[in-house]
Amino acid sequence: MKNLKKLTLLHSNDMHGDFLAEQVDENLVGGVSMLSGYISKVRNEEENVLYCIAGDMFRGSVIDSEYHGLSTIQIMNMLSPDVVTLGNHEVDYGVAHLLFLEKCAEFPIINANLHIKTNHARLFEPCKVLEVGGMKILFIGILTEVALMQCKSDQLIGTFITLEDAAEEIGKICDSYNAIDIDFTVLLTHIGFEEDKKLAEMLDPAWGVDVIIGGHSHTFLKEPAMVNGIPIVQAGTGTDQIGRFDILVDTDENKIDSFTWRPIPINEKTCPRDPDIEGLILNYKNATDEKYGRILTKFVKKLTHPSRIQETELGDLYSDILKDALGLDIFLLGSGSIRTEELGPVVTKGDFDENYPYNKPIHATYWTGKQLKYGLLRMLRDEALEGEHTEFYQLSRGLEVEYDQKTHSFLKFNFEGEPIDEERIFTVGLEEFHFRNTLDGFDLSIEDLEKNHASREVATGSAKILEEYLQKGQHQNAKGTGRLIIHLNDGTTTGAAEQVSE
């Protein structure tokens, strides 16, 4: 007869400072108060409950930015996750600051990737064994370099290069813990849904990995993906939902006997509120409201950024401001730098900081017209257009690009109304993160570009430039069409005046 034990696994990912509930169709949705209420409810109803977070607690709110993550750690302490792994945004305030925040955390933060290059010492514990209901549950934290490009700015910090390296490390950890009779193994990753599926294919079944709980790509699922016998899940983004596994563990065979998984909506109809955590958040909110409540500007209408893989109104506005303010030919603005889907029409300091939280240097780089074509062709590869979490860019005024996904070719590539001169050298502005990662974003190294002219830093803070411009005038507007038209394989077109079918 099987020895079966019930395990309930709750999980979040990519919370990005989404602390406050929002009004949606007359109902309160999301927020850490109701999320905490639901977790407490389940912990009271079920015997063996563990709650984990698959990275990116930080960034996305003025409460997080104002206190450089310390407020987030204090809020998370009250939420009481059992284990957390690092996401790429955990290093936004610097690795040294992250190590300080870890000391403030009252929960374990695991990561098997980050290490000091000189002696290969790990910066964090790679895994954690939690005991619940007589079961030993092994959690392993995984990142890869693709997700952690920010660390390239710190020459002493290294991470795994490939999924193959990560799989090998997982095997080593699993093998080393087999002797202590691990009942259940969870990979807590922050590498993106598609990468999770590739990683699952590489895992030896003998290692005993039971589930993969992921993050980074903000993927909302209605059911798990099954790869190599391993269920892979994510819970979208923010605090509007939480993932829930109800599992029967065969503790004789150390594997899943059966399970159900579903996303649970967080709203006032199904989740009680946590007044203690709500009070803490409101204290932070009150402290930031006065500073961030001042009005910067008023747009003609609400401007939007509905997708990171198409031209958007806010992308047009911001890229134009930075191009004009710095006297550049072209500005390529990282789509992921715009963190909320809409802004305005009235724009407060707080609204703007949540929408564009990165005040980092800007670099002028020098590209030939031929390199621009090559770099944007890389940006428009199928993986990006099919939703994989790759870098994508908003184009400043003057560029007109039309691309056909079926033929992987440009139908138009103009600059200021004329076909681009492939021999001409263009000054191209990039935010610091994208300057440091041109090889991943465009398949062009800085060394390639500096054969044309040495790059240089031309501004110390991109957000300050945008904020200054927004304060100068009212009634800004942007169309979000015409600069980047993409004819997709499914017959639709993005970036045209109206979406059409071919």
CATH of the domain at 452: 3.90.780.10
Do 67 and 213 fall within a single domain?
yes
Please, are residues 36 and 274 in contact by the beta-carbon 8 Å criterion? yes
Distance from C-alpha of 171 to C-alpha of 54, rounded to nearest angstrom = 20
CATH of the domain at 247: 3.60.21.10
pLDDT of residue 117: 65
Do 156 and 299 fall within a single domain?
no
285 lies in a domain? no
Segments of the chain with pLDDT less than 50: 152, 499-502
Do 114 and 234 fall within a single domain?
yes
Please, are residues 338 and 305 in contact by the beta-carbon 8 Å criterion? yes
Do 135 and 39 fall within a single domain?
yes
Question: Residue 41 has which token pair?
Answer: 């409810």
pLDDT digits 0-9 by tens, 21-55: 877 776 778 899 999 999 999 999 999 999 999 99
Q: Which among 245, 278, 311 is the end of a domain?
A: 278
55 lies in a domain? yes
Q: What residue numbers bound the domain in which 467 lies?
A: 293-494
Number of domains in the chain: 2
Burial of 105 (0-12, 13-18, 19+ CB in 10 A): middle
Do 309 and 263 fall within a single domain?
no
Burial of 193 (0-12, 13-18, 19+ CB in 10 A): buried
270 lies in a domain? yes
Do 36 and 134 fall within a single domain?
yes
320 lies in a domain? yes
Strands 456-459 and 362-368 turn out to be antiparallel
Do 242 and 330 fall within a single domain?
no
Distance from C-alpha of 272 to C-alpha of 290, rounded to nearest angstrom = 29
Three-class SS string for 451-499?
Answer: CCCCCEEEECCHHHHHHHHHHHCCCCCCCCCCCEEEECCCCEEECCCCC
Q: Which among 278, 304, 335 is the end of a domain?
A: 278
Do 237 and 344 fall within a single domain?
no
Please, are residues 347 and 329 in contact by the beta-carbon 8 Å criterion? no
283 lies in a domain? no
Do 183 and 309 fall within a single domain?
no
151 lies in a domain? yes
Verify cis geometry, omega within 30 degrees of 0, for the bond prior to 361. Answer: no
Unique residue bearing structure tokens 């390529």: 332
501 lies in a domain? no
Burial of 26 (0-12, 13-18, 19+ CB in 10 A): exposed
Q: Which among 216, 243, 278 is the end of a domain?
A: 278
pLDDT of residue 501: 37
Measured from the Cβ of residue 265, the count of other Cβ atoms closer than 10 Å reads 15
286 lies in a domain? no
Do 55 and 145 fall within a single domain?
yes
Do 234 and 332 fall within a single domain?
no
Do 101 and 12 fall within a single domain?
yes
